[in-house]
């Protein structure tokens, strides 16, 4: 370390100059810590700055001779050149960073959608979209501004093309709440598309799940070959790439994963402004988890940089959806506000955001119009066709200077002008449910009901079933019944399970007639596990992940093509090229199945009995082996005995 310090010449400000008289001179007896060794020179051939060779000590002298003007100028010139070189290097290093920090390189959009649900609940959907014009797969990016560095390095190192992770607590009730903007299954779901350059996909998948487990404090490290599948028809890429090689796709679900605050905190830290400014100030954990439904997600995908699509940009979309039961929390009133739901209000937008808006769905829920009222007045009104229905939204632009003129904070309040009629709730066009039937612990049946309520349009749907290996499916019992008749699937793909290696995978393309319900059932047999494979609470049951439905649902109202960059975020995650239909992905309920479970109390009883017997037998035997016996001679008695014998002698009684 000392040799390296000797090599670095000091700057002119650090030279031991003492101003005296006619010019700068070396301080008497001064000794710099950067004294060069003999024979070391700068690249220019000059001796090192500070002291030269001619300034070595002479015999009999205790002080160094003052250097001449040439040496002083050389020292100043050397220090100045060094400072200029360092400044030039800093400017070159800051050049790409400043270019990356420009508006054309990365941008942040934040959005909050507040939707009153048909049954009176309120759904709040947060979306934070970070777009970055960079080439992540090549790993040439070293400067990160808005895009999280942890995720950027992960994408570049493991060759990830698309990544979709969701952590959900609860279940989205489609029949009561309608079609969700972004639905996810209960628990943890992860599906990833890898780059064609990845040679070992399974190894990259395992490493990716372990890294994500550490980033989000989740149990994703339990993802292994026993719960991972490779779908062939479902989960097409949402980005630019048109996936044809399904060997690059991996999909896994952990239905028992519990989502709590320790998962929300690292998710908020990935935001450019954290939870200190913008819409993220509403993300108060104790309010978010006091809800009927909570789902947070991370989506990474490549998108077109412009209309010509000659260059690729990367999009990170962080979404969070919560459903509040305002009727029970509002003492029987369906009116709500931001403060009632989140215990906070909005004060400003994120300084790094180029767009920050709040959308409130004010579409009439009944045939009569103008039943809803929002305060304060919105900055604008937006009309669009979302999921086949015409919607009207009140828009609050947090970047508008006029929004915070009258008040320092924004507290959106929603009121019903009159009580809502007890009319029937609108039924979504596509919804499904699943249940398990049967009796005993040997066999059973899994049934899935799919409903198409469109009055005159039929459309196909892709069904994905993932069943654990310990439920042994009987494929010959698969039946599909529609309107009392057999409905043969157009496409079917089945991959049988292997014990303790991989689960069952069943994919089918089924045609749903108009205004019909379709029942899909298959029988299974329960396997007997090893005693070490049971969880700590085996009598609770074993979870089976949700079924996945993917379909292009016909739209009742014609939809227009909109610009993805100009349209709201809640309409651009699943783009549809055809204006007559929209893409929907639904999830059914997870199943809870009981397996033959041994009586784990018997080992406890055996252990207790064995320990008791061993303790009694061994204790007695050990006591006999280690105890020593002594023969005690009978004592003659004490003073009391002698006195008693004397009295007995006088009385003529035998002595004791």
pLDDT tens by residue, 391-416: 888 899 988 888 877 778 888 888 87
CA distance 531 to 598: 8
Q: 636 pLDDT exceeds 60?
A: yes
pLDDT in tens, 333-364: 677 888 988 888 888 889 999 999 999 988 87
Q: Calculate mean pLDDT across residues 636-650.
A: 81
Q: Calculate mean pLDDT across residues 231-249.
A: 85
CA distance 192 to 249: 6
Give the rounded percent of residues in the chain with a pLDDT score beyond 70: 76
Angle between helices 201-216 and 149-158 (to 10 degrees): 170
pLDDT at 554: 85
Give the rounded percent of residues in the chain with a pLDDT score beyond 90: 39
Question: Smallest Cα–Cα separation from 507: which of 518, 521, 495, 516?
Answer: 495
CA distance 186 to 169: 6
pLDDT at 435: 94
453 touches 502 (CB < 8 A): no
Residue located via tokens 């950067």: 34
Q: 226 pLDDT exceeds 80?
A: yes
pLDDT at 655: 82
pLDDT at 243: 65
pLDDT band at 193 (very low <50, low <70, confident <90, very high): very high
CA-to-CA dists, residue 547 to 181, 380, 507, 520, angstroms: 18, 40, 10, 11
Sign, CA torsion 195/201/203/208:
positive
Q: Calculate mean pLDDT across residues 239-253.
A: 85
Specify the DSSP class assigned to residue 214.
H
Question: How far, in whole angstroms, is CA 148 from its chain's centroid?
Answer: 13
226 touches 469 (CB < 8 A): yes
Q: 517 pLDDT exceeds 60?
A: yes
pLDDT in tens, 443-473: 999 999 999 998 888 999 999 999 999 999 9
CA-to-CA dists, residue 505 to 16, 23, 452, 519, 537, angstroms: 78, 87, 24, 19, 27
CA distance 285 to 259: 11
Question: How far, in whole angstroms, is CA 556 from its chain's centroid?
Answer: 35
Q: 534 pLDDT exceeds 50?
A: yes
Q: What count of residues does the chain have?
A: 656
Q: Which residue has the higher pLDDT, 331 or 504?
A: 504
Q: 489 pLDDT exceeds 60?
A: yes
CA distance 490 to 511: 8
Q: Which residue has the higher pLDDT, 77 or 173?
A: 173
391 touches 385 (CB < 8 A): yes
Specify the DSSP class assigned to residue 438.
-
SS3 341: helix
Phi, psi of 319, rounded to the nearest 5 degrees: -120, 150
Token pair listed for 444: 């059973």
Q: How many helices (H) and strands (E) does the chain have?
A: 11, 28
Q: 82 pLDDT exceeds 90?
A: no
């Amino acid at each position: 370390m000392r040799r390296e310090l000797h090599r670095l010449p000091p700057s002119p400000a650090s030279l031991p100059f003492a101003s005296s008289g006619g010019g700068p001179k070396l301080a008497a007896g001064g000794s710099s810590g950067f004294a060069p060794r003999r024979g070391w020179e700068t690249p220019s051939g000059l001796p090192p700055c500070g002291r030269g060779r001619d300034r070595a000590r002479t015999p009999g002298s205790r002080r160094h001779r003052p250097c001449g003007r040439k040496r002083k100028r050389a020292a100043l010139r050397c220090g100045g050149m060094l400072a200029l070189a360092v400044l030039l290097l800093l400017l070159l290093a800051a050049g790409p960073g400043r270019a990356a920090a420009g508006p054309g390189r990365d941008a942040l959009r934040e959005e909050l959608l507040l939707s009153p649900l048909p049954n009176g609940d309120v759904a709040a959907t947060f979306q934070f979209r970070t777009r970055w014009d960079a080439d992540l797969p090549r790993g040439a990016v070293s400067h990160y501004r808005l895009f999280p560095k942890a995720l950027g390095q992960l994408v570049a190192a493991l060759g990830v093309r698309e990544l979709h992770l969701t952590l959900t607590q609860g279940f989205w009730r489609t029949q009561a709440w309608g079609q969700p903007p972004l639905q996810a299954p209960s628990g943890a779901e992860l599906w990833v598309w890898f780059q064609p350059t990845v040679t070992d996909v399974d190894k990259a998948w395992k490493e990716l799940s372990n890294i994500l487990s550490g980033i989000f404090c989740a149990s994703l490290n339990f993802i292994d070959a026993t719960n991972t599948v490779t779908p062939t028809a479902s989960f097409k890429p949402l980005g630019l790439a048109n996936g044809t090689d399904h060997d690059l796709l991996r999909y896994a679900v952990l239905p028992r994963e519990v989502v709590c605050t320790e998962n929300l905190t690292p998710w908020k830290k990935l935001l450019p402004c954290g939870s200190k400014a913008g819409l993220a100030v509403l993300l108060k954990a104790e309010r978010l988890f006091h809800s009927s439904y909570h789902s947070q997600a991370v989506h990474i995908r490549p998108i077109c940089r412009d209309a010509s699509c000659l260059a690729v940009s990367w999009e990170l979309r962080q979404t969070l959806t919560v459903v509040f039961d305002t009727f029970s929390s509002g003492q029987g009133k369906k009116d709500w506000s931001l403060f009632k739901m989140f215990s906070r209000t909005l004060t400003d937008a994120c300084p790094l955001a180029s767009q920050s808006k709040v959308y409130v769905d004010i579409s009439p829920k009944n045939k009569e119009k103008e039943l809803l009222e929002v305060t304060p007045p919105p900055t604008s009104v937006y009309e669009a066709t979302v999921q086949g229905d015409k919607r009207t939204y009140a828009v609050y632009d947090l970047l508008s200077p006029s929004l915070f003129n009258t008040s320092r904070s924004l507290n959106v309040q929603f009121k019903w002008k009159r009580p809502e009629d007890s009319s029937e709730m609108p039924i979504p066009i596509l919804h499904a449910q699943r249940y398990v039937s049967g009796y005993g612990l040997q066999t059973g049946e899994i049934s899935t009901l799919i409903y198409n309520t469109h009055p005159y349009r039929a459309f196909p749907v892709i069904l994905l079933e993932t069943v654990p290996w310990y439920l042994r499916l009987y494929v010959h019992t698969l039946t599909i019944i529609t309107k009392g008749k057999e409905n043969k699937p157009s496409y079917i793909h089945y991959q049988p399970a292997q014990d303790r290696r991989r689960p069952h995978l069943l994919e089918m393309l089924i045609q749903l007639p108009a205004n019909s319900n379709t029942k899909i059932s298959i029988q299974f047999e329960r396997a007997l596990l090893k005693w070490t494979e049971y969880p700590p609470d085996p009598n609770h049951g074993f979870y089976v992940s949700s079924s996945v439905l993917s379909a292009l649902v016909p739209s009742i109202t014609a939809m227009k093509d909109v610009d993805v960059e100009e349209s709201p975020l809640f309409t651009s995650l699943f783009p549809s090229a055809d204006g007559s239909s929209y893409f929907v992905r639904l999830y059914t309920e997870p199943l809870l199945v009981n397996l033959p479970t041994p009586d784990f109390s018997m080992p406890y009883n055996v252990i207790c009995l064995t320990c008791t017997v061993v303790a009694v037998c061994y204790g007695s035997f050990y006591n006999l082996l280690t105890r020593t016996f002594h023969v005690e001679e009978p004592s003659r008695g004490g003073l009391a005995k002698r006195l008693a014998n004397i009295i007995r002698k006088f009385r003529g009684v035998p002595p004791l």
